[in-house]
A and B are shown apart, each in its own frame.
Chain A
Amino acid sequence: DTEVTQTPKHLVMGMTNKKSLKCEQHMGHRAMYWYKQKAKKPPELMFVYSYEKLSINESVPSRFSPECPNSSLLNLHLHALQPEDSALYLCASSDDRNSYEQYFGPGTRLTVT
């Protein structure tokens, strides 16, 4: 099973709301990633967790707060977002003991109003 799941599929939130995106994988991968993708652009890396520890933060604004509760789960907490944060948010995981191949989830389409 090479599946990464993400919930919700779509999210509309106001600029004062607090919401969370969730990502789950059961492939035993110990590296998990959050990406942001705008229309007709490649994904941009936001955060990397390795063995449940934050290893890369690509200077993301503090209104995005990642969390890795365990090796299978990754959350992205959202607070006080701006309309320009509207995008497709993608989660990925990779087997960083063998092939290092990255597997992506279907994404959450976020609209900030």
Chain B
Amino acid sequence: KQEVTQIPAALSVPEGENLVLNCSFTDSAIYNLQWFRQDPGKGLTSLLLIQSSQREQTSGRLNASLDKSSGRSTLYIAASQPGDSATYLCAVRRGYTGANSKLTFGKGITLSVRP
């Protein structure tokens, strides 16, 4: 059974700092990995999707990497801003049909960026 872990559960950093959020998963047989952002009481916003054949994806100040063999992904946020404060969740998808299409989520990292 796939398990996704995100540690620490919460992180507080000063504005301007570059930071790395970690995600680990137990079963390397994944189809893709997705990073989401969630603001309190809101839906999930997809930040980056990495296919299993890819090593990284970039969008603006965000860069996500994937190492399937070690069961790890990182989300790098450059020059953090108070507006980046949110909960960041990673989720893995095992396959593309049926039960394999389900996402397994980590519990998320709540990030606070202090002005």
Residues of A within 8 A of B (CB): 2, 4, 6, 31, 41-43, 45, 48, 50, 55-56, 88, 90, 92, 94, 96, 99-107, 109
Contact = CB atoms under 8 A, between A and B. Distances in A.
A42 B42 contact: no
A2 B89 CA distance: 19
A88 B107 CA distance: 16
23 contacts: A2-B46, A4-B43, A6-B43, A31-B101, A42-B91, A42-B107, A42-B108, A43-B44, A43-B105, A50-B97, A55-B101, A56-B101, A90-B43, A90-B44, A99-B32, A100-B32, A100-B96, A102-B103, A103-B46, A104-B45, A105-B43, A107-B42, A109-B41
Contacts of B106: 42
A90 B103 CA distance: 14
Contact of A102 (B34, B42, B107): B34
Contacts of B41: 88, 107, 109
B93 A100 contact: yes
B102 interface: yes
B102 A104 contact: no
Interface residues of B, number: 26
A102 B102 contact: no
Contacts of B76: none
Those 6 A-B pairs whose CB atoms lie nearest each other, nearest first: A42-B105, A104-B44, A106-B43, A104-B43, A101-B49, A107-B43
A99 B50 CA distance: 9
A66 to B, nearest CB: 15
Interface in B87-115: 89, 91, 93, 96-99, 101-103, 105-108
B46 A55 contact: no
Contacts of A55: 98, 101
B38 to A, nearest CB: 9
B58 to A, nearest CB: 16
Nearest to A44: B105
Nearest to B103: A102
Contact of A48 (B31, B32, B46, B101): B101
Nearest to B99: A56
Given A43-B105, A90-B44, 5 more contacts: A42-B107, A94-B101, A100-B31, A102-B103, A103-B46
